[in-house]
Amino acid sequence: MAADDDGQPQFQAVLAPEDDEIVRLTASLAERITGLLDRRGLGPDSNPEEADSLRTDEPWLAGLYAAAVSGRTAYGPNAGRRVTRVGDQIDPDGLDITRSPRCAGVAGFSLHANVAVHAADRPRLERLARYCARPPICMERIERLDDGRLLYRFKRPWRDGTTHIVMEPLEMMENLAALVPAPKAHLVRYSGLFAPAAKWRSRIVPSITVRNLRDE
């Protein structure tokens, strides 16, 4: 985005980033985000009870979140155990996340920047929107086993070779409940030109007034 001769914002076509640029950006994000968490008392050395108010206000929900991000079960007879994975397991240390174009992983942070949609490519834009709006699970890939557990098959194998997971029905409900946003959390956040304080936001985002709605 740059200004034209009249000072109006104008979108500019730029070259796709190189792989080494994505690596440097990922490293910068990892350093800055880690620093921000430390300054806000949310780092690994902080007191969990003081750093995370959710532990006090919603301990049950906090337990679900913590278990979900670590791939473990939060409650029930299998509490603390990892979710059962099935497939040709690969050592995570042997994975190379940078083997895909414009992808990088640094200190637990990963960045995928290999998706672009041309302004006139409406079908691909629709596919991207449908992908972003897809439900959390596909019912056609769930199977109830003879012992009552649920088997969920992935559309594609994970990078570590996992093809499906097996869970108790309650464990499945735990993973779905972990997708529920925390209380009072913003569901939509805007950045860049769409951020609330962006200088050119009013010139990029069309304003809809009550009068315009009535005219329609």
- Residue 145: closest CA among 165, 175, 174, 173: 165
Best CA proximity match to 144, nearest among 163, 169, 164, 174: 169
Residue reference for tokens 């906090």: 62
Which pLDDT score is estimated for 27?
Answer: 95
Amino acid identity, position 147: D
Q: Going from the first residue of the chain to its last (216 residues), give the mean pLDDT of each consecutive group of 10, the final group possibly shorter.
A: 74 86 94 89 73 77 85 87 78 55 89 87 92 86 92 85 89 87 79 84 72 51
pTM equals 0.65
Token code pair at residue 101:
């174009």
pLDDT on residue 210: 47
| DSSP structure string for 139-152 | GGGEEE-TTS-EEE
